[in-house]
Amino acid sequence: MRAEQSGAEFVDAALFLGMNSADERTRIACKSYFAARLTGRVTMSLEQVGRCDDLVWRFPRQVQDAYYPFMDVLHTDMAIDRVPYEAADLSRGLAEETGLPMHERLLLAMVRNRRGTLRTVSPRLLGGPDGQVLAPPAGPELAFPEPLEGLYQQSLVLRLPVDAL
């Protein structure tokens, strides 16, 4: 399913980076979400992809070198539609004053304009009344197939506090 069609499932940087959360419940929920959908399809705005890089690039080079092989292989192996904003997303994001940071207003506008859902661990985004923003389901930790699981374990040298997500 392409992001332009209704019903796309969106993920944000908080969910993606949540796989490296210092909080074990968050880490397991985020990792299991991606492991369960490895053969599926999700959508991510180009800005959210960039937000992941922006955070990782703040760490020393050795941490980046341990983290990026996992991210690179996951982005190659999983069908992740990386999409730009459209004019309608910008208009809606600017028009709807929500008190959220602009990157989250634009993300919500993108999701709503495409009649999609958003999976996130961002406390600012969760709990909205429209049912379009959902947390990843809780459950046991799922593993990625090898060699991706090994790369993931290597990536855990990067552990992020929940408030950094």
CA–CA separation, 70 and 120 (whole Å)? 20
Name the pLDDT band for 98 (thresholds 50, 70, 90). Answer: confident
CATH code of residue 153:
3.40.50.1010
Domain that holds residue 59: 9-159
Residue 164 is assigned to a structural domain of this protein: no
Residue 70 is assigned to a structural domain of this protein: yes
Question: According to the model, what pLDDT value does residue 5 have?
Answer: 52
Residue 3 is assigned to a structural domain of this protein: no
Residue 131 is assigned to a structural domain of this protein: yes
- Kindly list the strands in the beta sheet with 133-134, ordered across the sheet, starting from the edge strand earlier in the chain: 79-83, 41-45, 9-11, 117-119, 133-134
Residue 78 is assigned to a structural domain of this protein: yes
Whether the full predicted model's pTM is greater than 0.75, yes or no, is: yes
Residue-averaged pLDDT of the chain = 93
What tens digit of pLDDT does each residue of 39-78 get?
Answer: 999 999 999 999 999 999 999 999 999 999 999 999 999 9
Q: How many domains does the chain have?
A: 1
Q: What is the mean pLDDT of residues 6-22?
A: 94
Residue 1 is assigned to a structural domain of this protein: no
